[in-house]
Structure 1
Amino acid sequence: MPAVPDLLLVPLALLALQASLCHGACVELDSDTEAVANEGFKLGCISCKMRGEVPATASVDWYFRASDETEFSHLYSYDDQRAQIIDPRFDGRLGWNGSKNTKDLQDGSIYILNVTFNDTGTYQCIFTRLLMYTNYEYQTNTTKIINMNVVPQLTRGLASILSEVMMYVSIIGLQLWLVVEMIYCYRKIAAAGEEALRESAAEYLAIASESKDNCAGVQVAE
């Protein structure tokens, strides 16, 4: 009979592992928005599939609207593991940086080479996902918007500077606290040692005095 509960634990453990893999493998993070001229830049676009157990296929389309334009133009397409650069302004400068070796895309990021100031603008990433259930198919669309700014050199935000300052302050404060703690412990140990020496000396004097009194009493009796 004890073997039955053990057998039940096996499928439960497998289900827990599968759930952790399905829900923990994909995290939707916002893309960076500040690119440096003449360097590469990753435009991040992640759309996690909520039902990990459902088979699906997905395609990704990117659109671009420059800062001096009013309409979006089709920039890039990725479908069935094939990529196509559509906007001639980005010929030879765009590469796929998302999910690989799968049609069930969740990461639709792209990478821009040799960023120019003309690349400043709004980028639109559209996921088209087809969920294939047993008796029907269901299509979903997810859109991500990224406002990218191109700068001559990377600038650090106030939050980043403050976090670094606080890190150094914390390190210095921790070191000072350790020094104070060491001094306190040393003084406490030293005081305990002195007290022990005084007690030993007092005990020695008491023994010596008692021995002297005993010797005096013996002499008087003689």
Structure 2
Amino acid sequence: KMMKLTCISCMKREEVKVKTHVDWYYMTKVEQGVIYKYEGNFPMEMDGPFKGRLMWDGSQDLQDLSISIVNVTYNDSGVYECHVLREFEFDAFTPSAFVLKNITLKVKEEDTTALYSEIMMYLLLVFLTFWLLIEMVYCYRKISKSDDLYNPLCFEHKDNLVSVPASE
């Protein structure tokens, strides 16, 4: 499975030139470690337990600065921080803005109820199909037997019966 860690930091005016730096941290009880960097239009995955499982999932205009974790495990549960530093480029000065976003990820076991109900639905479908087939064969045989028991000679003699007047 894949999980998107969403970090959105919108710029008020898009016509202003800006350098955007993004650092993603995985927070443990002991320390925080950088797991992903985006700097100068180059995403970089850092060494560590997430190496090879992170991918940039943000927008090209850098309003959405999200990443995705591929093959999520229970060990990936925890707090992630998205640090966004924007350095605006004006002629006279270069102000900057810093945004910090916390994302809490809780990895839970997949609910198997839907899987069990789907299996039961298919089993019931197969069972009812076989039952319908057996009923059709049974009815066909019953009709076939009743046709064999039908004797057309009995009905021919009915027409040749002599009528006897009733005694008074």
Please, what TM-score do these two structures have when normalized by structure 1?
Answer: 0.48
Distance 2:102 2:75 in 1: 18
Can you give the 5+ residue segments of structure 2 that lack an aligned partner in the other structure? 113-168
In the superposition, relative to structure 1, how do residues 44 and 83 fare at CA in structure 2: closer, same or farther (>3 Å)? same
Q: State the secondary structure of the residue aligned to 2:88.
A: strand
Distance 2:111 2:31 in 1: 29
Verify the 8 A CA contact 1:73 1:87 in the aligned structure 2: no
2:45 corresponding residue in structure 1: 85
Can you give the 5+ residue segments of structure 1 that lack an aligned partner in the other structure? 1-38, 156-222
Question: Structure 2 matches for 1:44-193, cutoff 5 A?
Answer: 44-66=6-28, 69-100=29-60, 105-153=62-110
Q: Report how far residue 134 of structure 1 moved.
A: 2.8
Q: State the secondary structure of the residue aligned to 2:86.
A: strand
2:161 corresponding residue in structure 1: none
Report the structure number with the largest CA radius of gyration. 2
Q: State the secondary structure of the residue aligned to 1:95.
A: strand
After superposition, the CA RMSD in angstroms is 1.7
Q: Report how far residue 154 of structure 1 moved.
A: 6.0
Distance 2:104 2:22 in 1: 18
Q: State the secondary structure of the residue aligned to 2:52.
A: coil
Q: Deviations over 1:126-170 (max 9, x none)?
A: 111011123211111100001110001269xxxxxxxxxxxxxxx
Distance 2:77 2:102 in 1: 13
Q: Report how far residue 99 of structure 1 moved.
A: 2.1
1:148 maps to amino acid: L
1:139 maps to amino acid: S
Distance 1:55 1:140 in 2: 13
1:151 maps to amino acid: K
